[in-house]
Structure 1
Amino acid sequence: MSLRSLALLACCVLLAACNKVNQENFSRLKPGMSRVEVEQLLGAPAECAGALGFSSCTWGDERSFISIQFGNDKVLVFSGAGLK
């Protein structure tokens, strides 16, 4: 195996291990957390939508995700599916 192939394989393994959408981080979420705190924990959301001081954001993909509803940039409720 060439050095380039080994480096590519190592990068792929590290990226897979860095997934922040997991059960451990889901367990750290608490109602009342600020949106800044959530983004420090989970990174930038995949998508967000909202109006009038309320928003709903999702991290992850259709197989494994965390969904959080914010009111005035504070966590109101959250849910997750497919977390490991």
Structure 2
Amino acid sequence: MKKLFVILGAGLLLSACSKLTKENYELLEMGMSQEEIQAVIGKPDNCSETLGTKSCIWGSEEGKNITITFIGDNATTFSNDGLQ
């Protein structure tokens, strides 16, 4: 039982340290490279590529997330859901 509480507590601490915040989202700018984006919000959870464009999502598609589309290595579109 103690182990369960330790795991739940660690999960809460990690979620409190998330880089997926409204403040960090507002730091993102068009033209930034994926490396520059990752310096602000960390590595993406999922990326897909189609016809020279790359779409990456940070967070979960069902919950809090940031989605960025890159053409070449430059960010071109941004969207977010559930950020506070």
The TM-score with structure 1 as length reference comes to 0.81
Identity percentage over the alignment? 38
* Alignment length (residue pairs): 80
Q: Distance in 2 between matches of 1:29 and 1:43?
A: 12
Q: How far apart are residue 5 of structure 1 and its match?
A: 8.6
Runs of 4+ in 1 over 2 A off after TM superposition: 11-14
Gaps of 5+ in 2: none
Which one has the largest radius of gyration? 1
Secondary structure of 1:33's aligned partner: coil
Structure 1 vs Structure 2 CA RMSD: 1.9
The TM-score with structure 2 as length reference comes to 0.81
Q: Distance in 2 between matches of 1:22 and 1:14?
A: 15
One-letter code of the match for 1:49? S
Instruction: Give CA-to-partner distance per residue, 1:35-70, whole Å, 9 cap, x none.
Output: 100111111111110134310000011111100000
Q: What are the residue-to-residue correspondences of 1:56-75 with 2, within 5 Å?
A: 56-61=55-60, 62-75=62-75
One-letter code of the match for 2:28? L
Q: Distance in 2 between matches of 1:27 and 1:36?
A: 17
Secondary structure of 2:32's aligned partner: coil
